[in-house]
Structure 1
Amino acid sequence: MKIDERVEQLVRDALHWAVKRQPVEFDEALKAFSDESTRQSAMELLVAISTFVSADICGGRPSPGQVQELATEVAEAETWSSATSPEIETFLSTILAGRPLSGVLPASSAVVLAFVVAASLLSARPKSEGEWWFNYLDKVEAAIEAAG
């Protein structure tokens, strides 16, 4: 997957506020995704990030039990958002199966979930001392681009 640099920066800006759990700033950052093309590119990137990081956390493709556990952990960590454990589980199960989110979740919910889940997974994954979520994101994006 080739990552659009402009969309990547907008995604990183919104992820920053999600990681920091700043809902007002996060909502403001989401306004940058007002057109369908930008929103679609951002969703593709966020789905790829969440898919990669969840597999990294679980040591391979997550089982349904691991997906449920991840969903619970994300919901508990991200109480600042409106994301619920069942919604997160649906989101993760759908993207990990490679199915489209349309028809499974409302579009506005899917966008917020994509950011909240990606931000939570990026920040929760154990990292080396001195490594931040955005350093890990650099590695994830490099792997996504290398995979094609």
Structure 2
Amino acid sequence: MRIDDRTEQHVRDTLHWVVKRDADKFDAGLKSFPNAAAREAALALVVAVSGFVLIDLHGGRPTPQQVAVLSEEIGRMEAWASVTADEAASFMNAVVEGRPLNEQLAPQDVVVLGFVVAGSLLSARPLPEGEWWFNYLDKVEAAIEAAG
């Protein structure tokens, strides 16, 4: 996947507000994407990031039980964004199984879930001393681009 520099920066800026759990600035970040194409590119990137991190966390494709454990945690941690454990589980299962996101999720919820799940996964992953979620995101994006 080729990552457009403008899309990447916009996604990073919006993910920042997820990690900070600032609902107003997150909402403003989502609304600041200039058009449908930019929103679609951003969604593709956060889905790819979520999928990569899920696989990285588990050393392979997570089982539905592993997703259930993560989704409960996300439901608790990300209540500020009105994301439920069930929604997080539906999103993550669709991502790891390669199913269409709108199969079980409302289209208007998919973008919010994409950002909240990606941000939550990035910020909750244990990192070496002195590294931050955005350092890990650099590695994730490099791997996504290298994979094509």
* TM-score after normalising by structure 1: 0.97
Distance 2:21 2:102 in 1: 26
| 1:37 matches 2:41 | no
Deviates more, 1:12-21 or 1:32-41: 32-41
* Mapping 1:17-96, distance limit 5 Å: 17-96=17-96
What letter corresponds to residue 110 of structure 1 in structure 2?
V
Aligned to 1:143: 143
> Shift in Å at residue 34 of structure 1?
4.8
Secondary structure at 2:80's aligned position in 1? coil
Task: In structure 2, list runs of 5 or more residues that go unmatched.
Answer: none
Kindly, what percent of the aligned residue pairs are identical?
56
Aligned to 1:11: 11
What letter corresponds to residue 89 of structure 2 in structure 1?
E
What letter corresponds to residue 59 of structure 2 in structure 1?
G
Distance 1:87 1:102 in 2: 11
| 1:97 matches 2:87 | no
Q: Cα RMSD over matched residues?
A: 0.9
Deviates more, 1:99-108 or 1:127-136: 99-108
* Mapping 1:129-140, distance limit 5 Å: 129-140=129-140
What letter corresponds to residue 31 of structure 1 in structure 2?
K
Kindly provide the CA deviation profile for residues 94-139 of structure 1, in whole angstroms up to 9, marking residues without a partner as x.
Answer: 1111112124211221100000000000000000000000000000
Distance 2:32 2:104 in 1: 24
Distance 2:93 2:54 in 1: 11
Kindly provide the CA deviation profile for residues 48-96 of structure 1, in whole angstroms up to 9, marking residues without a partner as x.
Answer: 0000001111121100100111111111111211100001000011111
Secondary structure at 2:79's aligned position in 1? coil
After superposition, the Cα gap between the structure-2 partners of 1:92 and 1:147, relative to the gap in structure 1 and judged at 3 Å, is: same
